[in-house]
Homo-oligomer: A and B are copies of this chain.
Amino acid sequence: MSFLRTPDPNPGWLSDDELAETRARVPMLYVEAVPVRVDADGRVTTVGMLLRVSESGLTRALVSGRVRHGEEVRSALLRHVENDLGPTAMPQLPPSTVPFAVAEYFPWPGLSPLSDTRQHAVALAYVVPVAGDCEPRQDALELAWLTPGDAVSEGVASEMEGGRGTLVRQALASVGCLL
């Protein structure tokens, strides 16, 4: 076992060309978080969804982002939660990095209910309780808190990108909140 290389000072950053090239070659590793509020006993009470403006109009989104070269899965998850929900969200990352689902996104139909026109992406998906104040940053307009029942409704699912309504249902099933 030799350790010839040392960490890059700016690890994982890619130019647009490098990103496009890489996306055509390998599945891109992502993390996704379904933000939730929990009660004093730890039961999920509401589900957070980001509202975004995209080409196809207003869409609902989860916390999602790429794992960079040299970055731990846990660090990537925290980084994207903080990027998307703001620095005061107080997320409680789970002690285990085993996801509730491995979400597979393909740029062509048929292999999965999930899709991503940009790339083949494989996302490790987590339910993340957040205890603090969320201030959506970046391109999100708002963070809406929905009841589990609303979160898995057909209407909400149809507003989610890439078929992620399915992932929200899996998330709520994993915490016993899917009726």
Pair A42/B170 contact, Cβ less than 8 Å: no
Contact of A41 among B29, B75, B101, B173 (CB under 8 A): B75
Chain B residues contacting A102 (CB-CB under 8 Å) are 73, 97-99, 124, 176
Q: A96 within 8 Å of B by Cβ?
A: yes
Docked CA distance A5–B162 (Å)? 15
Pair A42/B122 contact, Cβ less than 8 Å: no
Chain B residues contacting A113 (CB-CB under 8 Å) are 179
Interface residues of A in 21-48 (CB under 8 A from B): 21-22, 24-29, 36, 38, 41-44
Closest CB of chain B to A142's CB: distance in Å? 23
Number of copies: 4
Chain B residues contacting A117 (CB-CB under 8 Å) are 1-4
Q: A89 within 8 Å of B by Cβ?
A: no
Contacts known (A43-B95, A101-B176); A26 close to B69, Cβ less than 8 A: yes
User: Which positions in A face B, CB cutoff 8 Å?
Assistant: 1-7, 12, 14, 18, 21-22, 24-29, 36, 38, 41-44, 56, 66-75, 78, 92-102, 104, 106-109, 111-113, 115, 117, 120, 122, 124, 127, 129, 162-163, 166, 169-170, 173-176, 178-179
